[in-house]
Structure formats: structure tokens, C-alpha cells
Amino acid sequence: MAASPAPAVDASSVAADQLKSFIERIERLEEEKAGLAGDIKDVYAEAKGTGFDVKALRKIVSLRKKDHAERQEEEAILELYMQALGMV
């Protein structure tokens, strides 16, 4: 018994299928990201409701994402600019 021939597949259909797969994955992740953004917003609102300063919380979260050297460099530049403007 002879093996049946494989169905003909052209490169454009493979590329289109792969592209569609990437797009669908990105869309799913974007939906998850939107859900997480809503959750984060709720946590900030909860913190604000208990008396915490949301602007300060956001700054701390931002700073914690950076390593020590990066924070020091940013602070040094900020200090330099403030001195140049006579703010300190």
C-alpha cells in the first residue's frame, strides 16, 4: 500500500497561519494586561482610601524597578539640574 501524498502547503499559507497565531497571542496578552491594569488601579485606590499618597506610592514602585546604580545616577543628574536652576 502506497503512502498518501501530503497535502500541498504553500509558504504564504504557512506564513499567514503563523502571523494569525502571533496576532491572537498578542491580543490575548493585551486583554490580560488590561485586566491587570484595572487590578493595579484598584490597589492604588484602596491605598488612597486608607490615607496613603498615591503619587508617592507610584514613585516608590518606579524606583524599586531600578537597580541601585541606576537610581544613584538619576538622583545625581536631578541634583545637578536643580543646582543649575538655583533650586537647592
Domain with 37 in it: 12-52
**Separation of alpha carbons 45 and 75, rounded Å:** 28
3 — pLDDT class (breaks 50, 70, 90): low
Name the residue with higher pLDDT: 10 or 4. Answer: 10
Q: Is the domain of 16 the same as that of 48?
A: yes
pLDDT at 24 exceeding the cut of 90: yes
Whole-Å CA distances, 84 to 40, 51, 70, 75, 80: 37, 35, 21, 14, 6
pLDDT at 8 exceeding the cut of 90: no
The mean per-residue pLDDT over the stretch 49-63 comes to: 98
Q: Is the domain of 48 the same as that of 69?
A: no
When divided into structural domains, the chain yields a total of 2
**Separation of alpha carbons 65 and 43, rounded Å:** 18
The mean per-residue pLDDT over the stretch 58-75 comes to: 97
- Kindly state whether residue 6 falls inside one of the protein's structural domains: no
pLDDT number for residue 13: 80
The mean per-residue pLDDT over the stretch 7-27 comes to: 86
